[in-house]
Amino acid sequence: MSQNSSRAALLALAVAAFAIGTTEFVIMGLLPEVAADLHVSIPSAGMLVSGYALGVAVGAPLLAALTARLERRTALLTLLGLFILGNALCAVAPNYSVLMMARVVAAFCHGSFFGIGAVVASHVVPRGQGARAIALMFAGLTLANVLGVPFGTFLGQWAGWRSTFAAVTVLGVIAALGVWRLVPSLPELHSPDMRKEMAVLRQPQVLLALLMTVLGFGGVFTVFTYIAPILQTQSHISVGATGWVLVLFGVGTTLGNLLGGRLADWRLMPSLIAILLVLMVVMFAFTWTMRDPVAAVITVFVWGVAAFATVPPLQMRVVQQAVDGPHLASTLNIAAFNLGNAIGAFVGGAVIEGGLGLPMIGIAGAIVAALGLLVTVWSLALERRGATTTTGATVGI
């Protein structure tokens, strides 16, 4: 492919990622409106977030199996069709139950789309640029936090929450047209053998890569889930200003995502170890910097950079290790990100419920990230030991 064609394909994938990221996170900004309109409590409306996460976890392996025999572009278009259907149902849902079902339907495409999309992105660029290509696709997801969620929330507050999902539906149609027109057919990725795909899950390095994702990213959501009350009660930042701090965090995630892609293409595992170390230190420091508004804002930005700098190398590590079955492994790694989100939220909640206080969440997040760092170091050590053994055997022969 030419350079322009590659960029166009990645842009189409990024637009789709932007739409998916927006629909995942925008519900958190619209909970009061949804709860009031559907006559349910705020906690019940909050379950729409959990319902989406459940849809991602269940849908990732299921849709990977169902789309296994489809050509990869066709699979992406099928998944986007499911996404469009789910969001259209959200926009017209007459009650809470239908809205919950629609959220789950929209979520089903999430894991498989990013899993397949990551493999496709790494194949439309020259060799050695795969991680950067994945980072460009995931840039759409990070931009959703910077632009999609704030503007989606504003639209929903101004014209009703249904208008936001209607807008996302239109965006999904635009993304599907872009994928259809700009993403090439890749015959070499046609019809992956599901027996081979399943077989790679027996490989220790693939399982370690998935565990690295769960723990490495789990540390992020240990803190991020409770960032609003932390900023408002510990940093004494107003409710209105909190949104702008989160926009700054989103800018950091966008920069971190692009940085992580370049570092991963340079030296994947050493870069990942360094990023996780920085992430751990930043969250540990946040325990104290959250007490000063200026220091807190600076820390949140740096934390955003470090947090999403982990995404391209974590995704690329799985693709590299699962050579004989990258599609399912890549898809399951997206589910692993969501599992990490859930575990992180649980750990942070346990800290609060245990009466340890909001500042201790920073330490808890650092501990979870440290576990991810240990698994990463262990994985690299095993890899180097295996390479040494193979080299030794070859020399002996």
And the tokens for 218?
Answer: 């789990």
Q: What is the pLDDT of residue 100?
A: 92
- CA dist., res. 197 & res. 189, Å (int): 13
Which among 129, 123, 85, 75 has a CA at the least distance from the CA of 105? Answer: 85
pLDDT in tens, 180-201: 998 887 765 555 566 766 777 7
Q: What is the pLDDT of residue 276?
A: 94
- Residue 240 pLDDT grade (very low, low, confident, very high; cuts 50, 70, 90): low
Percent above pLDDT 70 for the chain: 90
From first CA to last CA, the distance across the chain in angstroms is 42
- CA dist., res. 327 & res. 64, Å (int): 8
Q: What is the pLDDT of residue 46?
A: 63
CB count in 10 Å sphere of residue 40 = 18
Q: What is the pLDDT of residue 375?
A: 94
- CA dist., res. 317 & res. 1, Å (int): 24
Task: Tell me, rounded to whole angstroms, the distance of Cα 120 from its chain centroid.
Answer: 17
Residue 190 contacts residue 314 (beta carbons within 8 Å): no
**Domain definitions of the chain by residue range:** 1-181, 193-391
Domain 1-181: which CATH number of 1.20.1600.10, 1.20.1250.20, 3.30.450.20, 1.25.40.10:
1.20.1250.20
Q: What is the pTM of this model?
A: 0.73
Q: Alpha helix locations (H) across the chain?
A: 3-25, 31-38, 42-66, 72-92, 96-123, 130-143, 149-159, 161-182, 194-199, 204-224, 227-233, 239-266, 268-289, 293-309, 311-321, 326-353, 360-396
Domain 193-391: which CATH number of 1.10.10.920, 3.40.50.620, 3.10.20.30, 1.20.1250.20:
1.20.1250.20
